[in-house]
Chain A
Amino acid sequence: MTSRYVVEDRARNTFTLSRETLVSPAVLEKEMRAIFDTCWIYVGHGSEVGQPGDFRTRQVAGRPVIFCRDPAGTVRALLNSCRHRGALVCREREGNARQFMCMYHGWTYALDGALKSVPGPEAYGPGFDKAKFGLMPVPRLEHYRDFYFACFDPAAPPLADYLAGAKDYIDLVVDQSPSGRMEIVAGVQEYDIRANWKLLVENSVDDYHLPTVHTTWLNYMKNAGVNVRPPKDEALLLPSKGWGKDLGNGHLTTDNVNFRGRPVARWISIYGEEARADIEAIRRELVARLGEARAARIADTNRNLIVFPNLALNDGSSVTVRTFFPLAPDRMRVTAWCLGPAEETPAQRARRLDAFLTFYGPGGFATPDDVAALEAVQQGLAAWREVGWSDMSRGMAKSADEQLNTDEGHMRVFWRRWNELMERAG
């Protein structure tokens, strides 16, 4: 594959990326059309709008969106722009509403988007049809196991087809709940990184950087009694083996034997002795419901999944739902939530949240160093005219099913798909 962006030479086992892709305003503008306007983009989780009337306002692919549940129980994603003159009709972050009234001239909409009333209707002629002035929904809204995605391309394939092999990895998350009901926990982390958004795709699944970027986190784990030494007899950089996998359509994941503990359901000392019996009980429930093999698959592996282009599900020390969107070529806004089984006890929920913060988030023991790494990359990329290419060929001499989490095969999956969509756009 040769393009102006990505050069892959399978004979020489080289894969290089033009650094222009990470700095150029023109590339970003093209991504908005070629990627964000054609792919399924994460909107939110059904649990965030659990009751009729619940709403959350957020940005989806750069558009202001009201994610809500109407009185009939249907989840909607409405473009938050008054049909009259364009103002946001809902300016609150979240809540429960019977209607949305535009603050500018008072046009009022129901939660299914229908225009209910306009002040002074008699000034409009007889041809004015309120039915044609409802809040515009996103062109497509579908969900997979309560993860809602929007697509701005009306002709796009169904979400279930789009997700391809990523569905199996979402299942590994959702099956942690005995009832199949996961929920977003209160408290959102919204922060900017001064780096190109695609660097966070890479970073989310790049386990090669763990020993160097996360030395202090590994020390913290070690001090808590976790064995963090790579085994001597294998050529590993990490304490346990892991793989990088291609899930189709640009989706990818790491799939690692867990060494770092999991609230579902692998005890480590950091959870405290009093949690041991409880975590064993969670494990027994998994085995009873799903069988030994599936329970082990869920509890004894941790996986960082990328749903192309900008959703990460990090099923590690907890479950992180993380999406990100470019504000500029060298800046992104990250939004991250914690996800957990709806029926967790208060003690289990507290443990999940505590485990989350051991690694993740803007005050965690690891994420700030990831941010520092990405910002260091972005600063270095200012030399892109002279140092024009980045290397992503790690592991290329091996077959697809031999790609480790510390190789770069899974990241190449993202970049191939990204390149395909960008080339297709001309």
Chain B
Amino acid sequence: MSDRRNAAGATRQEVEDFLYREAALLDAWRLDEWLALTTDDCGYYVPPNDRPDADHRAALFTIADNHARLVERVKRLKDPNAHAEYPPSRTRRMISNVRITGDGGDSIEVAANFVVYRFRRGDDRREYVGHYRYKLRRENGALRIAERRAILDGAELGALGAVSFIL
């Protein structure tokens, strides 16, 4: 067993269960419960389509939230005045190709592919395709998100328009 476990003590199965649970919370707009999955120093990033590997301190991202701004983002998304997401979009996330890609001591690095379908009344279906890069850390026995990077494959955001929900 020990050879299948990393320093954070996670197997791929545990990581997959965690990511699926996260996806279910986001699709259900249970955003407070989702936020509880993040560490107090969590960063959430959507890099620019033309610089997927860039550093948010040196390049203009689509989203680069520290935890404080992530808390504000969740507050905003729960407010009916967040017009871009009111009524809330219906989303459905497909998570696959989950891999543990690195072992950072107290945290692990995880990669996964995603397709997020977004539906709004009177609007075309929008398909967000890309991959996630996570840093997961174990806190009080449970995996938590220390960093979450949603990297879109499109050459530009284009017809997707905005990333107004949690991608």
- Residues on the B chain within 8 Å of A94, using CB: 50
Neighbour of A219 across the interface among B48, B61, B79, B160, CB < 8 A: B79
Contact across chains for A362 and B162 when beta carbons are under 8 A apart:
yes
- Residue of A at shortest CB range from B48? A187
Contact across chains for A191 and B50 when beta carbons are under 8 A apart:
no
Contact across chains for A191 and B157 when beta carbons are under 8 A apart:
yes
- B58 interfacial contact with A, CB 8 Å: yes
- B13 interfacial contact with A, CB 8 Å: no
Contact across chains for A371 and B157 when beta carbons are under 8 A apart:
no
Contact across chains for A372 and B84 when beta carbons are under 8 A apart:
yes
B17-25, B68-76, B92-100: which lies at the interface = B68-76
A84-95 CB mask vs B (1 if < 8 Å, else 0) is 000000000110
- A125 interfacial contact with B, CB 8 Å: no
Contact across chains for B57 and A215 when beta carbons are under 8 A apart:
no
Chain B residues engaging chain A, CB cutoff 8 angstroms: 46-51, 54, 56-64, 69, 72-73, 75-76, 79, 81-85, 122-123, 155-164
* A45–B109 alpha-carbon span in the complex (Å): 38
27 contacts between A and B (CB under 8 A): A93-B50, A185-B60, A187-B47, A187-B60, A188-B60, A189-B48, A189-B157, A190-B158, A191-B162, A193-B161, A213-B83, A215-B79, A216-B79, A219-B79, A338-B60, A346-B58, A349-B58, A353-B60, A356-B60, A357-B61, A357-B63, A357-B64, A362-B161, A363-B61, A365-B72, A365-B76, A371-B162
- A220 interfacial contact with B, CB 8 Å: yes
- Residues on the A chain within 8 Å of B69, using CB: 358
* A373–B81 alpha-carbon span in the complex (Å): 11
Neighbour of B51 across the interface among A186, A192, A346, A372, CB < 8 A: A186
Neighbour of A353 across the interface among B56, B85, B158, B163, CB < 8 A: B56
- A117 interfacial contact with B, CB 8 Å: no
Contact across chains for A186 and B122 when beta carbons are under 8 A apart:
no
Contact across chains for A354 and B64 when beta carbons are under 8 A apart:
yes
- A169 interfacial contact with B, CB 8 Å: no
* A179–B80 alpha-carbon span in the complex (Å): 46
- Residues on the A chain within 8 Å of B62, using CB: 189, 361-363
Contact across chains for B76 and A186 when beta carbons are under 8 A apart:
no
The distance from the CB of B143 to the nearest CB of chain A, in whole angstroms, is 25
- A368 interfacial contact with B, CB 8 Å: yes
The distance from the CB of A331 to the nearest CB of chain B, in whole angstroms, is 9
The distance from the CB of A389 to the nearest CB of chain B, in whole angstroms, is 24
- Residues on the B chain within 8 Å of A376, using CB: 83
- Residues on the A chain within 8 Å of B57, using CB: 346, 349-350, 353
- Residue of B at shortest CB range from A213? B83
- Residues on the B chain within 8 Å of A337, using CB: 60
Closest 10 A-B residue pairs measured CB to CB? A187-B60, A368-B84, A187-B48, A363-B63, A190-B156, A350-B57, A187-B59, A215-B81, A368-B164, A363-B62
Give the contacts of A180-231 with B (CB-CB under 8 A). Answer: 185-194, 213, 215-217, 219-220, 223
Contact across chains for B158 and A192 when beta carbons are under 8 A apart:
yes
The distance from the CB of A174 to the nearest CB of chain B, in whole angstroms, is 19
- A304 interfacial contact with B, CB 8 Å: no
- A369 interfacial contact with B, CB 8 Å: yes
Neighbour of A187 across the interface among B54, B75, B85, B159, CB < 8 A: B54
- A310 interfacial contact with B, CB 8 Å: no
The distance from the CB of A36 to the nearest CB of chain B, in whole angstroms, is 21
Contact across chains for A363 and B46 when beta carbons are under 8 A apart:
yes
Known: A190-B156, A220-B76, A379-B122. A371 touches B60 (CB 8 A): no
- A314 interfacial contact with B, CB 8 Å: no
Neighbour of B48 across the interface among A188, A215, A346, A379, CB < 8 A: A188
- Residues on the A chain within 8 Å of B49, using CB: 188, 190
Neighbour of A369 across the interface among B50, B61, B83, CB < 8 A: B83
